[in-house]
Amino acid sequence: MQTDVAIGLLWFIAFLFSTTVHEAMHAFVAWKGGDPTAYEGGQVTLSPLPHIRREPIGMLVVPLVTAMTQGWAIGWASAPYDPYWAARHPGRAAVMSAAGPAGNLMIATVAFALLRAGLMAGWFVAPETVRFEHLVELPDGGTTFAGELLSIFLVLNVLLAVFNLLPLPPLDGGAILEYFLPPRMAAQLGEWSRTPIFQILGLVVAWQVFPSIARPIFTFVLSALHPGVGYS
């Protein structure tokens, strides 16, 4: 029971930090691109507090509850932006949308590099069985706080990046898709993506699609982290 609570807390910490980076990247790139909306809301920051104040249920309540009851954290967050600015500058808006997943990939890259360094130095070894939070273990077969936390950061951020890049509103991939559409279609998609019904529909479809690609993504991460080690 204590182990489950500890793992849940690690998932919650990783989710809170990763989501904060995601939204801060959106806010920072929008600010540099000429939209100060999120900057003025205090979201160009790595402090989670402004992001929690904006989405307390998605940033705090739901991830904490799921981390303690399911063993992994899920939730949501958002950064405000000016839709008129986005309509005037579709290229900048697309870069802003891509910035959040890019932030997650940066975290995943750092976690991957640290895990690989630990493996090469002999601090970690490949475990017999793997889980999202257990990609490495100590040479004597024991677990380690650093290994578990880095494992969670790696898997969580890769999955967050891929999920958010699905080309479905209201995900970041849906906003990026608008840039590649003809202007009239992009405007229509942007209008639909701001309606609650369309947003819910997009999320439902995304949740149906994502499980089919999550396993191959996890397998790819494992093969990159432990080349030559086969996991079924």
Average pLDDT over residues 155-169: 93
Rg, C-alpha atoms of the chain: 19
Q: Would you place residue 54 in the very low, low, confident or very high pLDDT band (cuts 50, 70, 90)?
A: very high
Average pLDDT over residues 47-73: 93
- Look at 162 and 190; give whichever has higher pLDDT: 162
Q: Would you place residue 2 in the very low, low, confident or very high pLDDT band (cuts 50, 70, 90)?
A: low
- Look at 74 and 114; give whichever has higher pLDDT: 114
Instruction: Report if residue 8 sits inside a domain.
Output: yes
Q: Please count the structural domains in the chain.
A: 1
Report pTM.
Answer: 0.93
Percent of the chain with pLDDT over 90: 68
Note down the domain range covering 65: 1-79
Residue 223 has pLDDT above 60, yes or no: yes
Average pLDDT over residues 143-159: 95
pLDDT given at position 95:
97
Average pLDDT over residues 62-85: 91
Instruction: Report if residue 227 sits inside a domain.
Output: no
Instruction: Report if residue 25 sits inside a domain.
Output: yes
Instruction: Report if residue 22 sits inside a domain.
Output: yes
pLDDT given at position 209:
83
Amino acid at 228: G
Of the candidates 107, 136, 156, which has an alpha carbon nearest to the alpha carbon of residue 225?
A: 136
Of the candidates 107, 103, 50, 86, which has an alpha carbon nearest to the alpha carbon of residue 169?
A: 86
What string of DSSP letters covers the chain?
A: -HHHHHHHHHHHHHHHHHHHHHHHHHHHHHHHTT--HHHHTT-SSS-HHHHHHH-HIIIIIHHHHHHHHHSS----------HHHHHH-HHHHHHHHHHHHHHHHHHHHHHHHHHHHHHHHTS-B--SS-BTTBS-B-TTS---HHHHHHHHHHHHHHHHHHHHTSS-TTSHHHHHHHHHS-HHHHHHHHHHHTSHHHHHHHHHHHHHHHHHHHHHHHHHHHHHHSTT----
pLDDT given at position 106:
98
Residue 221 has pLDDT above 90, yes or no: yes
* Cα distance between residue 98 and residue 161, in whole Å: 9
Instruction: Report if residue 36 sits inside a domain.
Output: yes
Average pLDDT, the chain: 91
Residue 22 has pLDDT above 90, yes or no: yes
Model confidence over 168-212: pLDDT tens digits? 888 899 889 888 888 888 777 777 777 777 777 777 778 788 888
Instruction: Report if residue 28 sits inside a domain.
Output: yes
Average pLDDT over residues 89-109: 96
pLDDT given at position 232:
65
* Cα distance between residue 24 and residue 8, in whole Å: 24
My answer on whether omega of the bond before 127 falls inside 30° of 0, hence cis, is no
Instruction: Report if residue 134 sits inside a domain.
Output: no
Place of tokens 């995601």: 22
Q: Would you place residue 118 in the very low, low, confident or very high pLDDT band (cuts 50, 70, 90)?
A: very high
Instruction: Report if residue 130 sits inside a domain.
Output: no
